[in-house]
Structure 1
């Protein structure tokens, strides 16, 4: 958030604390817009009402009063809309009150009405302006708020950056955001147009529908893509254009997403079945048949061998259940006296008994 008039002398400590919050808020906690410190808002009769802070954003215009508790006390602050504020342990006013006012709500309400009238004068139609009284306790003091019954558009919060940001987000809800030209017209009525330019407003999130020149070398000069109303440049083929205000990290993320989108989609592979594969059934019949054929061939071979042996030796005859052997020998010759006798023949070997299948 751009802070204007925040370096002047004599700023109270409570206001300096809030200005420090706005300066240090960065990243997602940063609040866009313009904050004018110590702003006098004139009314229709020429009277001036001083606002500690005037916030101007595309969706919010508000007047803020920052009040510090005078004494180092803890307790509950009672803040009625139509009465004086009180706090246990404090005899006088717990916070500073402008002369002639009943409580700080009256000063904040006067600033909101004056801002609304100036917005109407500037030609702005949506001119709702809320007000806030931000109360800051002293160091290490715990202060709570009592029951609140406040006018519409007015609120009281105990000071912390978290509470201030929550109020800011809850009230930044204008349906038709202000343009940079509308905001500059209101700032001109507040006599701060010499310190805020159209380029400053565009850099803080305002939209500009009209071309404007940006002074060269300006410290508040935003990116050229957001400020210059130049003609659009031709986009080279095959490139992805990104806004000029995109950060390097966002650009890298966009390029990575484009690369992932250009990758070919892998083919869908059907899931494998987890059921165990069936083993092929054993074919028993062919094996049994082969064994029977082999046994028959072996039996037939033995039978043929037995038949051949029977024909080769006619002295052997075979009957059922037994074997009869008949041998016919010729009568031995009578030896002659005085002749040399031949050596006796060796005894004939006993006939071999053949074993046929199933007859042994």
Structure 2
């Protein structure tokens, strides 16, 4: 994934974490444009990120906690987000007049209007709220039964963030490098990719030209993940990862203790009613029938809420 950052010095710590995650997935096809202003109704609106995969364009709101609060995060249909003890979640941009749900909805609409104006094509823009945690903070679950359509919420988890895009990689591409270039150029940011369309084409895995490099749609295997990366998979960076975070599912073997790790991770990821192909993609390889049956047994209620 190609990372393009406008004015890097103004990124928040949570946004810096997102930028770092993107650099950990160089083989995942896509383009991530961070920290931009999008024209909106005679003014402009700040977007934390626009991320394209070949199949989807996503407007991302990155939110971080100001103070440590443990417990489940509750997202009501209206108003500020709460912790399960009834306190208002101490998240930036979350109070009686603002909340992450309304912010991502407004950002998605602003992005949609500008993208359609820049490209001359009708566009579907998804919304994503990415909640980053403080060191040692424990938010084990998310209660968000009612969300705007095409809007997802992920509590800090690098693996779920990768899976958010990887799970749709089998779908027909909807975005090309030419179409994305029109959006980036319309914002005056062509210099971020050097004005070279092949840079965007390579990031998307397009192979229409003789000098373009294909990028495989794959998850990063265990041997390419640093200790720092593994620590980042959990709740806070710089800490030794808990055991359930230490082994990506691509290395799970049926009939071993690693099945317990897979079970813990699936409980945390909250992937429900996965089909065979989804389980295969989650594991990062083709599952054996025995492992697939085990993974299917341990899928439970959602922790992270991902739309179709």
TM > 0.5? yes
Q: Aligned ranges for residues 146-295 of structure 1 at < 5 Å?
A: 146-170=143-167, 175-196=172-193, 197-205=196-204, 207=206, 225-227=210-212
Candidates 17, 30, 35, aligned match of 1:33: 30
Residue 21 in structure 1 maps to residue 21 in structure 2? yes
Q: Distance in 2 between matches of 1:246 and 1:62?
A: 20
* Closer, same or farther: CA 116–25 of 1 in aligned 2, 3 Å: same
Change (3 A) 1:141 1:120: same
Structure 2: any 5+ residue segments left out of the alignment? Answer: 217-308
Q: Structure 1 residues 175 and 124, CA, compared in 2 at 3 Å: closer, same or farther?
A: farther
C-alpha contact 2:65 2:90 (8 A) present in aligned 1: yes
Cα distance in 2 between the residues matched to 1:151 and 1:48 = 22
- Whichever of the two has the greater Rg, that structure is 1
Show the counterpart of 2:263. none
How far apart are the structure 1 equivalents of 2:13 and 2:115? 30
| Consecutive unaligned residues in structure 1, runs of 5 or more | 210-223, 228-243, 248-360
CA distance in 2, matches of 1:158, 1:120: 30
Alpha carbons of structure 1 residues 19 and 42: separation in structure 2 relative to 1, 3 Å: same
Aligned-pair CA distance for 1:32: 1.8
- Number of residue equivalences: 213
Partner of 1:230: none
SS at match of 2:62: strand
SS of the residue aligned with 1:55? strand
Q: Using the TM superposition, give the Cα deviation of residue 206 of structure 1 relative to its aligned residue in structure 2, in angstroms.
A: 5.6
Residues 71 and 84, structure 2, Cα contact 8 Å, conserved in 1: yes
Tell me the CA shift for residue 137 of structure 1. 2.0
Alpha carbons of structure 1 residues 128 and 95: separation in structure 2 relative to 1, 3 Å:
same
Higher relative contact order (CA 8 A, sep 6+): 2
2:39 to 35, 38, 42: 42
- The 8 Å contact of residues 98 and 107 in structure 1, kept in 2 or not, is answered as no
- The question of whether the paired residues in 2 share the 8 Å contact of 1:135 and 1:158 is answered with yes
- CA displacement 1:21-55 (0-9 Å, x = unmatched): 111224xxx32221111111112x22212111111
CA offsets 1:317-347 (integer angstroms, 9 cap, x no match): xxxxxxxxxxxxxxxxxxxxxxxxxxxxxxx
In the TM superposition, residue 94 of structure 1 has moved relative to its aligned partner by 2.0
Task: State the partner residue of 1:76.
Answer: 72
SS of the residue corresponding to residue 35 of structure 1 reads: strand
Shift of residue 107, structure 1, vs aligned partner = 1.7
Distance 1:65 1:112, change over 3 A: same
Is 1:3 the counterpart of 2:14 in the alignment? no
Describe the superposition over 1:117-163 as per-residue Cα deviations: whole angstroms up to 9, x where unpaired. 22222345351110111112222222021142101111111111011
Structure 2 residue 102 is matched with structure 1 residue 106: yes
1:66 is displaced (CA, Å) by: 1.1
Q: In 2 relative to 1, CA 186–98 (structure 1 residues): closer, same or farther, beyond 3 Å?
A: farther
User: More helix per residue: 1 or 2?
Assistant: 2
Map Cα deviations across residues 264-283 of structure 1 (whole Å, 9 max, x no partner): xxxxxxxxxxxxxxxxxxxx
Q: Distance in 2 between matches of 1:21 and 1:105?
A: 23
Residue pair 2:35, 2:49 contacting (<8 A) in 1 also: yes
Aligned-residue Cα RMSD (Å) equals 2.8
Partner of 1:131: 127
Q: 2:200, 2:3 → 1: CA distance?
A: 12
Q: Aligned partners of 1:58, 1:121: CA distance in 2, in Å?
A: 20
- Checking the alignment, whether the CA contact within 8 Å between 1:79 and 1:86 is kept in structure 2 is yes
Mapped contact 2:73–2:81 kept (Cα < 8 A) = yes
